[in-house]
Chain A
Amino acid sequence: MASILLMHGFPIMKLPMPLLLRVAPAALALALCPLPLGAQPAAPAPTLDQRVSALEAYVTNGDPGHALTGVPGPGHNAWMMTSSALVLFMTLPGLALFYGGLVRRKNVLSVLAQCLGITGLVTILWWAVGYSLVFGTGFGSKFFGGSEYFFLRGVTSAPNTNYAFWVSQNVFAMYQLMFAIITPALIVGAIAERMKFSAILLFVTLWMLVVYFPLAHMVWGATGLMNGVWNADAPIRAIDFAGGTVVHMSSGWSALILAMLLGPRLGFGKEKMAPHSMVLCMVGTGMLWVGWYGFNAGSAVAADSIAANAFTTTTIATAVAAFTWGMIEKVLRGQPSILGFCSGAVAGLVVITPATGFVDTTGAVIIGVLAAAVPYFFVTKVKARFGYDDALDTFGVHAVGGTLGAFLTGVLATGTVNGNLTSGAAATNGLAALVTKGGLWHEQLKAIAITLLLSVIATAVLGVIVKALIGLRPAPEVERQGLDLAEHGEEGYIE
């Protein structure tokens, strides 16, 4: 500010300090205001007190009040841009390599193509209608947001204070886009090696509109049915920090239904279908873990103490789960496997996802141990017992893990790490009482049920529709030869 005054020739060095401080705001307003001298500026300049409060609000992630409105806070915005890149990194190439390494050589490119194709497709959907349907409020509905942000109209660098005081709305929209991308990408794990590329794109388009957009609005939209933390009128006071229901339950349960609709891979149970590269799988796992910091800690939509807590619980739960899965294998099978450590890490990440900003480190350890034990049981015993071909264990890890995490969040959430659980909207709609006195798990069960039913029923219907329209499976010869050559005209590895 002194430099602005100097530019205009004010001899500031000769002014006494108290006078300078009283004159400066008006001088600043004049310097910035393009009106001719004598005309009134649009609004009274904020007082010094208001300006200091606004700066304090930047640090504490609070409402800036009358000053600094409409501008993002640099630190928070930077963290969210970074987080957005980290979550995209989870899909490209984290998930792509994690899944890619687990399929047979002849299908590796099909997995990569599915991740790339879904990224582009979902981005277009998100721009056109998705962001608005999830985070708008124009419809006044608990199930759909609104149309006010269609084609990202009105989504600028100014914050949308329904969701963040200090993060640009366009950055927030991009951040949430990355969640919208990875959710359907997870589904491809269950149907790997046997679903046509065109059928996947058509199914994902319909699934986003019928399942993801409504579900994300219900859980995270300002007028959402199950947004316990931020919607004072929410009938269901459920909480989901980074997407245990929205991302993992929805994709996991949908994946199971789609896998059953498709039927098993040709030769399933008889032919060897081992991973073609555990190296790629592990590389992908590391990328998923690192990227997940953006997924979990970024869901604080601020660089604040809640994000710091989420960062910590994510680390602890994941590491504990990875180690536990490896040790379970050592005890039950005699050898800890790479796939075991990787699966444990991913399971830990999945289960901590809904809880990460709501539980403390002790809760994270408990979650880590259960995140290994329960999914392990499902991918080894339950899958073998029922014989469904969940090729890459999307159901076993994401559906089971997401459900488990959503439930445990209701048991382990504490207001000591996140004041939003016991104040504001949460105090109005009764969430605060559930957190302090117990019983939150009951609301979580309602959210779990709605998520499960929506995912399962919608996927069954949509799957049947896509099957009737264009068919789901490639021709048997195509499946035998491998999807890469027939669907993409390329080979993963040319000798």
Chain B
Amino acid sequence: MKLIIAIIKPFKLEEAKEALSQLGIQGMTVTEVKGFGRQKGHTEIYRGSEYTVDFLPKVKIEVVVADEIVPKVVAAVVKAAKTGKIGDGKVFVVPLDEAVRIRTDERGEAAL
């Protein structure tokens, strides 16, 4: 099992969710986050006081999948979230030790 973490532009969330759904992935966790990579922030001015805002709003999707489908999932998310412009985000793949379905106590891939 692998934990796939994707940090993408917020307006791409629906597309990414759709792409995952079409691969049969029915569960995910979504968080609103702030961050930056090479994309610069912006400046706000309030009555002459300037503030540089470095952090940009992003969306983080976390989904746990079986090892075999990891490459397909990563490709699908990348395709759905890509705009070609700076700030598109990143996808990380993290090895996972265990997963448990709380309601039924199922473990491993049966829990996914």
Contact A343–B48 (Cβ < 8 Å): no
Q: Mark B31-54, 1 if CB is under 8 A from A, else 0.
A: 000000000000011111101010
Contact A380–B48 (Cβ < 8 Å): yes
Q: Mark A359-389, 1 if CB is under 8 A from B, else 0.
A: 0000000000000000000011101100000
> Majority SS of interface residues in chain B?
strand
Question: How far in angstroms is the closest Cβ of chain B from A249?
Answer: 20
Partner of A272, one of B45, B47, B53: B53
Asked if A25 CB lies within 8 Å of chain B CBs, one says no
Contact B51–A274 (Cβ < 8 Å): yes
List, in ascending order, chain A residues with CB within 8 A of B45's CB. 333, 337
Partner of B51, one of A272, A333, A379, A393: A272
Question: How far in angstroms is the closest Cβ of chain B from A333?
Answer: 7
User: Number of A interface residues, CB 8 Å?
Assistant: 16
Partner of B44, one of A274, A381, A384: A274
List, in ascending order, chain B residues with CB within 8 A of A274's CB. 44, 46, 49, 51
User: Number of B interface residues, CB 8 Å?
Assistant: 8
Partner of B48, one of A272, A273, A275, A384: A384
Complex interface residues of chain B between 37 and 88 (CB less than 8 A to chain A):
44-49, 51, 53
| A383→B45 CA distance, assembly (Å) | 14
Contact A383–B48 (Cβ < 8 Å): yes
**Residue of B44, B47, B48, B49 with most partner-chain A CB within 10 A:** B47
| A384→B48 CA distance, assembly (Å) | 8
Complex interface residues of chain A between 319 and 353 (CB less than 8 A to chain B):
333, 337, 339-340, 343
List, in ascending order, chain B residues with CB within 8 A of A343's CB. 47
Partner of B46, one of A339, A381, A396: A339
List, in ascending order, chain B residues with CB within 8 A of A380's CB. 47-48
Contact A275–B46 (Cβ < 8 Å): yes
| A340→B46 CA distance, assembly (Å) | 8
List, in ascending order, chain A residues with CB within 8 A of B44's CB. 274
List, in ascending order, chain A residues with CB within 8 A of B49's CB. 273-274
Across the interface, name the chain A residue whose C-beta is closest to B54.
Answer: A272
List, in ascending order, chain A residues with CB within 8 A of B53's CB. 272
Contact A381–B47 (Cβ < 8 Å): no
| A379→B48 CA distance, assembly (Å) | 7
Question: How far in angstroms is the closest Cβ of chain A from B51?
Answer: 5
Complex interface residues of chain A between 237 and 277 (CB less than 8 A to chain B):
272-275
| A275→B49 CA distance, assembly (Å) | 11
List, in ascending order, chain B residues with CB within 8 A of A337's CB. 45-46
| A393→B49 CA distance, assembly (Å) | 11
| A381→B48 CA distance, assembly (Å) | 8
List, in ascending order, chain A residues with CB within 8 A of B46's CB. 274-275, 337, 339
| A237→B15 CA distance, assembly (Å) | 73
| A396→B51 CA distance, assembly (Å) | 20
Question: How far in angstroms is the closest Cβ of chain B from A268?
Answer: 10
Question: How far in angstroms is the closest Cβ of chain A from B46?
Answer: 5
Question: How far in angstroms is the closest Cβ of chain A from B2?
Answer: 31
| A384→B45 CA distance, assembly (Å) | 13
Question: How far in angstroms is the closest Cβ of chain A from B91?
Answer: 28
List, in ascending order, chain A residues with CB within 8 A of B48's CB. 379-381, 383-384
Given contacts A272-B53, A384-B48, 15 further A-B contacts (CB under 8 A): A272-B51, A273-B51, A274-B46, A274-B49, A275-B46, A333-B45, A339-B46, A339-B47, A340-B47, A343-B47, A379-B47, A379-B48, A380-B48, A381-B48, A396-B47
Task: Write the residues of chain A forming the contact surface with B, with a CB cutoff of 8 angstroms.
Answer: 272-275, 333, 337, 339-340, 343, 379-381, 383-384, 393, 396
Shortest beta-carbon contacts, A-B, top 7: A380-B48, A272-B51, A379-B47, A274-B51, A339-B46, A274-B46, A379-B48
* CB-defined A-B contacts under 8 Å, sample of 23: A272-B51, A272-B53, A273-B49, A273-B51, A274-B44, A274-B46, A274-B49, A275-B46, A333-B45, A337-B45, A337-B46, A339-B46, A339-B47, A340-B47, A343-B47, A379-B47, A379-B48, A380-B47, A380-B48, A381-B48, A384-B48, A393-B47, A396-B47
